[in-house]
Amino acid sequence: MLFTFYSSIHGHSQNNCSPDDLECHEKSKYLRDENEKWNKYIQLINDAEQRHVNNTQDGTFLYMSQIQSDLAYWKTKQDGITRNDIEQSLTQPKQTLYQIINHRLYRCKDEDLIFPFRNYGVEHFILNILQELPDMEFILNTYDWPQTYVHNSQQHLPIFSFSKVKQGQHLDILYPAWSFWDGGPALGSVYPTGIGRWDLMRETLNNARKKIPWSKKQSIGFFRGSRTSDERDPLVILSREKPYLLDAQYTKNQAWKSDSDTLGAPPASEMRHEAFCPYKYLFNFRGIAASFRLRHLFLCGSLVFHVGDEWIEFFYPYLEPWYHYIPVTSDLRDVEQLLLFAQHNDKLMAKIAKHGREFIWKHLRMSDIDDYWKHLLVEYQKLLNYTTPIVKRKDFYEVKRRK
């Protein structure tokens, strides 16, 4: 039944290629040989739509379940979060202790911060909601890598991190990354001081989307990024072998010394995010941890091919595979078939791209970041078990709004 529907709608049951059109013949071969796999993809899309219809919200804050999940361990701990837990957390290298006392925010001096602009990016949002917060202390990790591990009882620590592995490996408490406001990654000449504020980038990408609607985008995959791992190699190799399917090239990173560092080819030029928008299928890979790029790709109005599902930021669990994006396994074993499937099921792909873009546009606004921080800190503070009031540390200073 699915195949009959697919063939009648998309009209690709016949080979209408001219004798010398090798590209057309190869695609037709896949249409004949891969029907069973493609029917599987259509069923996955149908199932995702059904699950989404049944997944109605009950009026609570959208991301509350992630907050509750991250705090679950501390709710089961008999004495909650103690002063000793906080002091133990400070033994981890270069963590930032924050104090909120009488609606004022305190921390160490700037020169003691390992990545000060990352702290500034976080502080922007906390200052926005400071008048609504009770007194508390919390530990902020500004490294890319999470700090706590389930298997190591000595590292069961209440540390806030922007990313972690979702499958129960880390106990870190997720928070919205600093890069929504400041401290995002610098990318050569295109973003020399970082990728910039999320509210401004939203408008830039939305304008690019309007200029290049789905019907005018190129029906190929696209990727630009540095070779942080060889996980990305198969995509770049496929691009070189079959450029009608995708354009995937490596750019330089800080470790680049020769073309061997970009898989034997000269590095491609770095590009601004809006320059990705002319392409229908945009690939996202993790970096050292979760990738800041993901949320930007959706706003092009393109279809996101999200590779791997291990690393998450706070909003990732609310993006539904096959409804908001196309999931791709880390080994990229099905990527060629997925691209061909996308090229021959344009209406389906346009619908998924629309779902993904609408979720990010409607549910990842700056006000949503404020709300996440407020709900997170209020729920976290309920678990603090201090026997005496919090007193400002003598070497701390008050954090003020940066001009």
pLDDT score at 35: 64
Residue 160 β-bridge partners: 140, 173
Residue range 113-163, pLDDT digits in tens:
999 999 999 999 999 999 999 999 999 999 989 999 888 877 799 999 999
Closest CA to 185 of 286, 117, 257: 117
Average pLDDT, the chain: 89
Residue range 268-297, pLDDT digits in tens:
999 999 999 999 999 999 877 678 889 999
Contact 301, 214 (CB under 8 A): yes
Let me know if 144 is a catalytic residue.
yes
User: For the chain, what are the domain ranges?
Assistant: 2-54, 64-177+367-398, 198-312+316-363
Task: Please give the radius of gyration of the chain, using alpha carbons only, rounded to the nearest integer.
Answer: 23
3 pLDDT exceeds 50?
A: no
86 pLDDT exceeds 60?
A: yes
Residue predicted with more confidence, 3 or 69: 69
Residue type, 51: R
Which three-class secondary structure state does DSSP give residue 219? strand
Q: Which of 110, 135, 144, 233 is catalytic?
A: 144
Residue range 323-372, pLDDT digits in tens:
999 999 999 999 999 999 999 999 999 999 999 999 999 999 999 999 99
In CATH terms, 198-312+316-363 corresponds, of 3.30.420.40, 3.30.70.380, 3.40.50.2000, 3.50.50.60, to 3.40.50.2000
pLDDT score at 337: 94
The dihedral of CA 240, 217, 320, 144: what is its sign? positive
Query: What pTM, to 2 d.p., does this model score?
Result: 0.89
**370/1 Cα distance (integer angstroms):** 48
Among the ranges given (14-23, 33-42, 141-150), the one the predictor scored with the smallest mean pLDDT: 14-23
**162/116 Cα distance (integer angstroms):** 15
14 pLDDT exceeds 80?
A: no
Closest CA to 270 of 212, 216, 191, 171: 191
DSSP 77-126: STT-B-HHHHHHHTTSTTPEEEEEETTEEEE--GGG-SSHHHHHHHHHHH
Q: Which two tokens stand for residue 330?
A: 């880390």
- pLDDT range class, residue 5, cuts 50, 70, 90: very low
pLDDT score at 4: 37
Q: Which two tokens stand for residue 115?
A: 């990545």
